[in-house]
Amino acid sequence: MNNSIPHTTGYILAVGKSTRMGEDKGLKAFNGKVLVASVIEELQKAVNKVVIVSSNPSYEQFGLEVVEDLVKNIGPAGDIYTD
């Protein structure tokens, strides 16, 4: 059953330089599935649309809208500003 809030969009901020982990942490396996897939699954229970903010084209594999952050290299504030 989906108890999502009508007309609500959830954003996954999947941007960054991957400097600490050396690779995109959202695409790493965690508990048997890719981390971002778990986040998508849970977020879809709460909202009726999910958008991924990322410049990595690999996120398109999840079949959701993927947008790039409008203001780059300023951290999460730029990601939130995107929409």
pLDDT by 10-residue block (mean), the chain, 83 residues: 76 79 83 93 94 93 92 62 58
Q: What pLDDT score does 55 carry? A: 87
DSSP structure string for 17-79? --TTTSS-GGGSEETTEEHHHHHHHHHTTTEEEEEEE-S-GGGGGGSSEEE--SS-SSTHHHH
| Angle, alpha carbons 65-67-71 (nearest 5°) | 165
- pTM of the predicted model, to two decimals? 0.79
Q: Provide the 3-class DSSP secondary structure of residue 81.
A: helix
Q: What pLDDT score does 1 carry? A: 46
The CATH number assigned to the domain holding 39 equals 3.90.550.10
Which domain range does residue 56 map to? 5-81
HSE-up (13 A, CA, CB side) for residue 9: 11
Q: What pLDDT score does 69 carry? A: 79
Q: How many domains does the chain have?
A: 1
